[in-house]
Amino acid sequence: MKLSARIAAPVAALVLAGLTATACAPQTSDTSAKGDEKSGTLRVWLFQEVGNKPKEKVVDDAVAAFEKSHDGAKVEVEYIPVDTRAQRIKAAFNDPKSAPDLIEYGNSDTAGYVKDGGLADVTKEFGAWEEAKDTDPIAKQSVTVGDKVYGAPFFVGVRALYYRTDILKDLGIQPPKSQAELIATAKKIHKAKPDLYGLAVGGAYTYGAMPFIW
């Protein structure tokens, strides 16, 4: 995925490569996208992954292509830890000198960042992006607040359950194929083996269990 990028002062009006990417707009600046100045430095903050090298390679290639097609432009990429992103990003919203032009963020943060006045309205730029028509509607909705678009879906993550084949074989249970079967299977396993939970998630991944609760 790629978006054509327009570098604007004091904020960038849009986006570099395929979570969500968007232009930052510190509270002291106008949150609407400005002129089409294709020069200067574009400061980008991306998430630091556990294994970041593959991501860096893709980003480096995108940066090289961007700088080649935008004469005089330079891109500075900084990878920030996910666990401290909220503090870094919100602090940047209030300090234009340290604020990046473009950030990667979790789509669940959209509404809060918009409320804080930190994101630029990129509705026009998103609409002009030739690949916007292929954007998943739900993903687009996650970066939309009050009919205005504040980011571009970077990627859509897919979650999967895995199960203990030895436990199911021991109990003569077939792998569940629906949520109802999953619930029934979990209960059977826990009843037969009280020391096991029928369904479990990691301690730092509680949000992964919330859909089952809902």
pLDDT tens track for 89-119? 888 888 878 889 999 988 888 999 999 888 9
Residues 48-91 have pLDDT tens digits of 988 899 999 999 999 999 999 998 899 999 999 988 888 888 88
Cα 92 to the center of its chain, rounded Å: 18
Q: Write the DSSP symbol of residue 45.
A: E
Neighbour count for residue 35 (Cβ, 10 Å): 10
Residue 140 pLDDT > 70, yes or no?
Answer: yes
CA dihedral 126, 128, 133, 134 (to 10 degrees): -70
Distance CA 195, CA 210 (A): 23
Contact 24, 101 (CB under 8 A): yes
pTM, two decimals, is 0.65
Select from 92, 82, 87, 18 the least CA-distant residue to 48.
82
CATH number for region 20-153: 3.40.190.10
Residue intervals in the chain for CATH 3.40.190.10: 20-153
Residue with token string 């490569």 = 17
